Amino acid sequence: MKVIIRRPRREVEMSGSRRVRDLLQELQINPESVLVVRGSELLTPDEVVKDEETVEVVPAISGGAADEV
């Protein structure tokens, strides 16, 4: 499977199917700080991503100045 990770953008190839929670654990990504999407579909941790599929890890956290404008 192909995993696209944003910020900084990189692509990781992994062989075999995996549950989302295992995929994040292998990549050492905290599930509290991201969402995993397949196309436009949000995936829960128990979802299985198949070998031929592509998923994207979208970071939820943004920083900077204390006031959001």
CB of 40 to another protein, least distance (A): 8
| Minimum distance, C-beta of residue 25 to another protein, in the bound complex (Å) | 11
The number of C-alpha atoms within 13 Å of 26 and in the hemisphere containing its C-beta is 13
Half-sphere exposure of 57 (CA within 13 A, CB side): 28
- Any residues with CB less than 8 A from the CB of 64 and at least 6 apart, and which? none
Position 65 contacts another protein (CB under 8 A) = yes
Q: Minimum Å distance from CB 15 to another protein?
A: 25
Which residues of this protein are in contact with another protein, per CB under 8 A?
Answer: 6-7, 30-35, 37, 40-47, 58-69
